[in-house]
Amino acid sequence: MEHAVAATPAWAVLAYLAAGVLFILALRGLSSPESSQAGNRNGMIGMAIAVGTTLALHPTGLPLIIGAIAIGGGIGWVIAQRIQMTAMPELVAGFHSLVGMAAVLVGCAAYLNPVSFGITDAAGAILAVSRVEMGLGVAIGAITFSGSIIAFLKLSGRMSGSPILLPGRHILNLGVLAGILVLTGIFAVDAAAAAGQGPLLWIILGLSFLIGVTLIIPIGGADMPVVISMLNSYSGWAAAAMGFTLQNTAMIITGALVGSSGAILSYIMCRAMNRSFISVIAGGFGAESGGGPAAGAAIQKSYKAGSADDAAFIMQNAETVIIVPGYGMAVSQAQHALREMGDLLRKEGVSVKYAIHPVAGRMPGHMNVLLAEANVPYDDVFELEDINSEFGQCDVAFVIGANDVTNPLAKTDKTSPIYGMPILDVEKAKTVLFVKRSMGGVGYAGVDNPVFYGDNTMMLLADAKKMVENIVKGLNGGGH
């Protein structure tokens, strides 16, 4: 079994390569909903090949291993069946933490038993290049783990979503990061580390767990789409680093795919908020709530409030309605009632479309999944750039649980924290129906929204789900 990895037979190398290619095809399948299910199957086949090949190469200790797979697989399967679609962001964050922890465990196991991983030289010392990969893999894995745990706690409401600002946090974080890099460098040249001894790896590990926490706690709830994408990316890089250690193509290809996927999603989310990645990661956005001049003046302004029956009447007599969902829809689980409302309007001959802002919700694509869950056909759901020009011609924009993504100040007010963010132009619709819990709260960015006070706006102040259910009643009862 000595130098097991270095002596990987050709068939196994090809099998791992095939697994890597199947993973590429799994992502490729997601280019359209029709091909997506086949893509997912490719991913499963790829994973089965990777696991099967590894077990065939290392056929020892099988009973325990199969037991471990059965336990983990059973837990995972049950979670996947039971989880509510609205809880998807925290589920994904939780899963990221597991990948991070698994990377940490693999790195530590390789450090303690380097011969089995084929990363030692003739004298039995761990290769320097392997120690760099190991140090980085363990560090990224640990950051992914603790960062994802914090993201999970914030997203599931077990911890406040508002930013927690430590004094001097930037210096602290940069210092810890520098410490990790320097120690990884020392780890690569240290003689004791080569012999698998000394505390260096454990210090790197501890610092990485710490920085994962301090990096994520200052980031507020609505910036979570970026955080989840970033942690997604990290989990990929952790897998890639371990792939280098094991010289395993499946792991390297996957790590690169996942790493770039998460990075691209982070970029898309930042662009949709017109903020730099650095400013999101620096955190603290929205912490100084009510600071803007607009927020102070909000109380005096007048707005029109309406009832569910008013809303039902207006929409019944409209030709086109565009529905704009946001995080509030997810919180109140209003998607099913919303779809019912859409169906009833269609029966009356109203054209109903859905408009999704890229950062609506708590993770990329969050709204699309919830609408799909409620059986809204995906060809009725449009992205910002595809539908934004239609608000000018539409009769009703029905905003439910969204706020900042509809705020026209983003176009006009250079002092606004959301200035420059692309928004859905709901104010151009003939009538805006704005479902909101109360007039008290302003959006996440702490900015008041002039749409509330527009002449063409009717505020529907209630819980989103209750309001939509009452509108549905109105549509049923008040029919022609």
Query: Reduced to 3 states, what is the DSSP secondary structure of residue 479?
Result: coil
Assess 154 for contact with other proteins (CB under 8 A).
no
* Residue found under tokens 């009643």: 473
Assess 358 for contact with other proteins (CB under 8 A).
yes
The least CB distance from residue 6 to other proteins, in Å, is: 9
* β-bridge pairing 381-383 and 351-356: parallel
Q: Which of 310, 380, 395, 404 is catalytic?
A: 404
The least CB distance from residue 197 to other proteins, in Å, is: 13
User: Which range in 73-81, 150-158, 210-218, 429-437 contacts other proteins by CB under 8 A?
Assistant: 73-81
Assess 250 for contact with other proteins (CB under 8 A).
yes
78/165 with CB nearer other proteins? 78
Assess 124 for contact with other proteins (CB under 8 A).
no
Q: Which DSSP letter does residue 391 get?
A: G
User: Which range in 35-43, 173-181, 306-314, 418-426 contacts other proteins by CB under 8 A?
Assistant: 35-43
| Footprint on residues 80-109 left by other proteins (CB under 8 A) | 80-81, 83, 85, 88, 91-92, 95-96, 98-99, 101-103, 105-106, 108-109
Instruction: Determine contact, residues 39/55, Cβ cutoff 8 Å.
Output: no
Assess 110 for contact with other proteins (CB under 8 A).
yes
User: Which range in 69-77, 160-168, 198-206, 390-398 contacts other proteins by CB under 8 A?
Assistant: 69-77
- What does 32-60 look like in DSSP terms, one character per residue? SHHHHHHHHHHHHHHHHHHHHHHHHH--S
Instruction: Determine contact, residues 22/45, Cβ cutoff 8 Å.
Output: yes
Query: Reduced to 3 states, what is the DSSP secondary structure of residue 321?
Result: strand
Long-range contacts for 67-70 (Cβ within 8 Å, ≥24 apart)? none
Assess 128 for contact with other proteins (CB under 8 A).
no
User: Which range in 161-169, 204-212, 258-266, 420-428 contacts other proteins by CB under 8 A?
Assistant: 258-266
| Footprint on residues 360-419 left by other proteins (CB under 8 A) | 363-366, 368-369, 372-373, 375, 377-381, 383
- Alpha-carbon separation of residue 377 from 38, 368, 400 (angstroms): 19, 10, 19
Instruction: Determine contact, residues 141/255, Cβ cutoff 8 Å.
Output: no
Judge whether 404 counts as a catalytic residue.
yes
The least CB distance from residue 71 to other proteins, in Å, is: 5
* β-bridge pairing 457-461 and 381-383: unpaired
The least CB distance from residue 137 to other proteins, in Å, is: 9
Sheet holding 431-436, edge to edge: 381-383, 351-356, 320-325, 396-400, 431-436, 457-461
The least CB distance from residue 153 to other proteins, in Å, is: 18
Write the CB contacts of 35 (distance below 8 Å, at least 6 apart in sequence): 28, 29
Assess 122 for contact with other proteins (CB under 8 A).
no
Q: Among 249, 266, 406, 431, which residue sits at the site for other proteins (rule: CB under 8 A)? A: 249
Residues recognised as catalytic: 404
